[in-house]
Amino acid sequence: MRELMNGAEAISRAALDCGCDFFAGYPITPATPILLTMVRELPIRGGIAVQAEDEIAAIGMCIGAVVGGRRAMTATSGPGISLYSENLGLAIMGEVPLVIIDCQRMGPATGAATTTAQGDIQFLRWGTSGGYPLIVLAPPDVEGCYHTTVEAFALAERFRTPVIVATDKETVSTYATIECETLKPNMAVQRPILPADVPYRIFDPQHLDNVLPLASMDTHILRFNTSSHDPEGYLSKDPDRLSELNEHLESKLLHHREEVERYSYQPENDASTLLISYGIAAGSMQAAASQARKQGTVVSTLTLITLWPVPEDILESAMAEVSTVVVIEMNNGQYAREIERLSRGRHEVLSVTSKNGLLIQPEAILQSGGVL
């Protein structure tokens, strides 16, 4: 059995299959279809979907619902991510497992609402005060939307962190042919809960990279605190406590980078060029690689699914095999900065970008100077 499905539907189905039982969103092109699906599907499953008064309230309600024990998701686009910004910081600080779908459209500001782009990539990582890490995953296609959303729920619970699925207008609204049996979660999404007899604690000062289970309001008195706090949730400005908390928020992700790295790497023997891409642009990269092959040139390709934390292990090892790296993305060269940083001048790093909303033409990659 097959089905014609777009990314918005694939994301919604993944959320439902992961036991998502709370959704709050605000209508915005091109994320609205996810809101519509959740409004339709959640009530009959005992869940709740709310159209909030704005994006600030949407993510705020999700955070409240998660603290109250629900499993939540929200979906928006660039202008909504701008409004999510303060609460993304709160979700990082409060260690709230939450899945956020960013259906990117062209910016800046209102931009071109029905035009695809990947211009939020650095903003998603650095758009909160303090600059503490979260996870950003980019599905390469419609089927990837399903599996990446499942991964997002699993990683959100594993690390008690907001996870952003950075997709785009093209992927969420273009229909693709899907084999129905492939749309099953390939992992269980579990939420460890603090046992009733274990005292409430948010993090462990002895093991700062550990993630402690969420506590339930049915068994514990919770102290959720967006201000700097000690392990019990009480406000603290003691330099030692501040250092512990902030080290915890960083190391719980960065010390476990290998658990977060998701990618698809197709190395070719004797290739001197590595193409790197993610999301919708990865399709352009694959088309370019097969055209190059027809013309007698082989290149290695690396499709990144995890964008943040930067999957440095695979990038380092894949880049060690080549002299030229071409980074392909539908923005102004945002992720190429990370590749240049990791290259430390050892490679020719070329950037193929697009600013007109059209998918990157494979020819533009072939003519970038790094392939043919």
Q: Which stretch binds other proteins (CB under 8 A): 10-18, 100-108, 282-290, 321-329?
A: 282-290
Whole-angstrom distance, CA of residue 147 vs CA of residue 372: 34
State yes or no: residue 109 binds other proteins (CB under 8 A).
no
The secondary structure of residue 102, as a DSSP letter, is: E
In the bound state with other proteins, the residue whose beta carbon lies nearer, of 283 and 309, is: 283
Q: Pairing between strand 98-106 and 72-76? A: parallel
State yes or no: residue 217 binds other proteins (CB under 8 A).
yes
In the bound state with other proteins, the residue whose beta carbon lies nearer, of 213 and 357, is: 357
Whole-angstrom distance, CA of residue 189 vs CA of residue 154: 5
Nearest to 330 by CA among 299, 296, 365: 365
State yes or no: residue 73 binds other proteins (CB under 8 A).
no
Least Å distance between CB 267 and other proteins? 18
Contact indicator for 268, 298 with CB cutoff of 8 Å? yes
State yes or no: residue 198 binds other proteins (CB under 8 A).
no
Instruction: Look at residue 234 and give its three-state secondary structure.
Output: coil
Q: Which stretch binds other proteins (CB under 8 A): 3-11, 75-83, 157-165, 332-340?
A: 3-11
In the bound state with other proteins, the residue whose beta carbon lies nearer, of 223 and 257, is: 223
State yes or no: residue 210 binds other proteins (CB under 8 A).
no
Nearest to 322 by CA among 301, 295, 292: 301
Q: Which of 8, 10, 16, 24 binds other proteins (CB under 8 A)?
A: 24
Other beta carbons within 10 angstroms of residue 264's beta carbon come to 14
Q: Which of 107, 119, 231, 233 binds other proteins (CB under 8 A)?
A: 233
Least Å distance between CB 295 and other proteins? 17
In the bound state with other proteins, the residue whose beta carbon lies nearer, of 224 and 263, is: 224
Structure tokens at 47: 């869940």
In the bound state with other proteins, the residue whose beta carbon lies nearer, of 181 and 270, is: 181
Instruction: Look at residue 106 and give its three-state secondary structure.
Output: strand
Nearest to 10 by CA among 152, 192, 203: 152
Q: Which of 97, 309, 311, 362 binds other proteins (CB under 8 A)?
A: 362
For other proteins, what does the binding mask look like between residues 116 and 145, x meaning CB under 8 A?
-------------------------x----
State yes or no: residue 163 binds other proteins (CB under 8 A).
no
Q: Which of 34, 65, 103, 145 binds other proteins (CB under 8 A)?
A: 65
Contact indicator for 50, 42 with CB cutoff of 8 Å? no
Give the footprint of other proteins on residues 38-57 (CB under 8 A): 39-41, 43-44, 46, 48, 50, 52-54, 56-57
The secondary structure of residue 357, as a DSSP letter, is: S
Size of the residue set binding other proteins (CB under 8 A):
69
Give the footprint of other proteins on residues 296-355 (CB under 8 A): none
Termini Cα distance of the chain: 40
Whole-angstrom distance, CA of residue 310 vs CA of residue 322: 19
Whole-angstrom distance, CA of residue 172 vs CA of residue 9: 8
Whole-angstrom distance, CA of residue 114 vs CA of residue 261: 31
| Kind plus residue range of the DSSP H or E element containing 92 | helix 78-93
Q: Which of 82, 122, 210, 226 binds other proteins (CB under 8 A)?
A: 226
- Using alpha carbons only, what angle is made at residue 302 by residues 171 and 120, rounded to the nearest 5 degrees? 45
Nearest to 307 by CA among 163, 129, 117: 163
Q: Which of 3, 258, 259, 316 binds other proteins (CB under 8 A)?
A: 3
For other proteins, what does the binding mask look like between residues 167 and 196, x meaning CB under 8 A?
---x--xxxxx--x----------------
Least Å distance between CB 147 and other proteins? 15
The letter for the amino acid at 258 is E
Q: Which residues bind other proteins (CB under 8 A)?
A: 1-5, 22, 24, 29, 39-41, 43-44, 46, 48, 50, 52-54, 56-57, 60-70, 72, 86-87, 90, 113-114, 141, 170, 173-177, 180, 217-227, 233-235, 283-284, 286-287, 358-362
